[in-house]
Structure 1
Amino acid sequence: LQDLAILVRAGFQTREFEERFLTLGIPYRVIGGPRFYERMEIRDAMAYLRVIHQPDDDLAFERIVNKPKRTIGDATVQVLHAVARAGGTSLYRAAAEIVTTDELKPRTRTSLANLMADFARWRALSGEGPAALPHSELAEMALDESGYTEMLMNDKSPEAPGRLENLKELVTAMEEFENLGGFLEHVSLVMENTENAGADMVNIMTLHGAKGLEFGTVFLPGWEEGLFPHQRNMDENGAAGLEEERRLAYVGLTRAKRSAIVSFAANRRIHGQWQSAIPSRFVDELPPEHLLIESEPGIYEGGDALSQSRSSGFGSRGGWSGRRSDPLIETGATLIEADPVGFAIGERVFHQKFGYGRVTSIDRNKLAISFDKAGDKKVLDSFVVAADAV
């Protein structure tokens, strides 16, 4: 396993690989940074969501009570702790009590009162009533109205854009669950299963972090326009940005000692909507004489595509773009139809949270499953495995 590496263009792309590996029990390490749910902005966002769902979570409340800054400093937090201890209650309830008194300075009291009013409103929208919002929309609302998103947008550090992308990925992850409680429970399970023993693990890292490293086999997912090359880099830096992206593609391909496997999706879920994806222009630049095509590219027939490069050669034109009419004649490449993957109606499956169940219907990558103990649920196929594989 340690000779395998997954190299992604952006940090948010690691989440799905991490969760899938945890589901399958495959040990992995994220090199060059923390795991997805351990990242600062994700922990902050999760703290907001935990307070909405369970206001008495003191650790979560203390983490975000002054993030972004609201003039609620350490001295105020100590006052809240004292009130909570005296009353045998939580920090949240102590805050709700203290804003009705004159114990705090007017400016601090107003800031804290506004925060408590926001939490009360968000909590009212998180229930099951007619006014309830989908939990992914509620997360976006809380992050926006709290000022957290604006804080990152105003942050001029090079890490800030990636943090915003991670928050968007978090919201995307929430869409796979029926309610906020289910999502929070899932994340708790993920965090409990991050201990890996031994040194034999799959490596996950960004292309930037892969410089100077080599692996036997390298997987390069997400080679799609806008994602790689990254749209923001091209918008901000023009031709120079595109060249930087091209150099990253070269870095990724040349990390492989034996083979590099490039893949792209025909469709990608963005902000809750499925959108068609266009294969990266870098796919066209792969030298066809060094390619082994494993499945029909999505640009032609839809679906996912894999191309396997067995050489570090990169940069010649006339790659896939010259093969659209007849790929076999133009390139001489071996074309292999991929075996269909997925699940069948009636098949027994296993979900890390819901346990064993049976597939009752299939809609693309969405499965309706009747679980033995959890009842009927709809989940994405990436979150279940065949029961006999457990």
Structure 2
Amino acid sequence: MQPRAGMAAIALLALTTVAACGGSERTAAPADEATTITMWTRAATQAQSERLVKAYNASHKNQVKLTVIPTDNYQPRIAAAAGAKQLPDVFAADVIFVPNYTSQGLYLDISDRIAALPYKDKLAPSHIRLGTLDGRSYTLPHTLDLSVWFWNKDLYEKAGLDPEKGPTTLKEFAEQATTVDEKLGKDGKVHGTFFGGNCGGCYVFTFWPSVWASGAQVMDAEGTTSLNDQAAMTDVFKVYRDLYAKGVTGPTAKEEQGPTWTGFFPKGEIGVMPMPSTTLGSMPKEMRIGVAPIAGPDGGESTFVGGDSVGISSTSENADAAWDFLSWTVSDEAQVEVMAKNKDIPARTDLADNKYSAQDPRVVLMNSMVAKGQTPYALRFGQTFNDPQGPWLRLAREAVFGDAGKVAQLNAEITKSLQQ
């Protein structure tokens, strides 16, 4: 899940159930006999989807016809297609919304097919977990995006910090950010750190890993009770609250709604900040960048494992051909020669250190975080945490910029939203 501002509450509960429990693993067209299957993906993962489809089409008799849909329109399109029983053979989805889709019966049960894969236990665990319902599996990992800390080695050097030593705790993160700001921020162009202070998705993507790194949780396992009023979360909020109060975060953090929150670091204006792993490959070639796992106040490490999962629609009449494509996307060939070659995170933990990632220790580190990170499970995630009018953003903004005494009350509102 790469955070975006303005993501409206998605009417996922309006999805029409098709094929109870997501259907069964029926056999349709032969695996690779010139069958054309249809696939949908959202624009946020267009590049990766197009590369996989192009490589598959070039090496198989089957062909995949890909349709890319604007990210903000994707959930409504899925809902409309499900209601009309016109879903494509295959569709990807932001991993955070997969539990809702599986509960609505939109994906085909592919448990036995996944179980037969020789590397089934090496598939990205968070993606597999969110694609599992009542012990049955419905999706595979499609793309992965992780939250990590980037630091600007040039700014560290100018500020008198060791450019080769990034933060190992959230407290060190705050100290290093403060040093950069104090030493280099007099002209107002350089700031110690930055975050999306008016973006619910930005908060969950960048703040929650510090809670997990501390050994705590932000919700119960069922995704129905919020724990965001507990010390593990409020301690993280306090660190950022203090950074903002001292002016270390820059003046626009409070208003940042999401679209530009990752745009300041590449300009060389930020000392250290949480960033999506997918942005490393697009950084200026001349910029010296360090990468570190997100840590808790006193250590540990974790990451928000975002990205997309993909499955076969429960109404597909080409299940075998669709599986031939999906299983190929997690093969060694696709994961190494298509994904890793383009600096994307492999969907398999056993391929974290491959011939392409080995060229850059930062990529190896990010790949290794897949096994250590988490993806929260909640059927009402979008309405509760991504909706700009939802209760989570109100809580986060009070905790960082407003009246922290309101956190307990607002946390109860989050739980109420999760249980609706």
Larger Rg: 1
Q: Which has the higher strand share?
A: 1
TM-score range (shorter-chain normalised) is: under 0.3
Q: Which has the higher contact order (CA 8 A, sep 6+)?
A: 2
TM-score by length of 2: 0.20
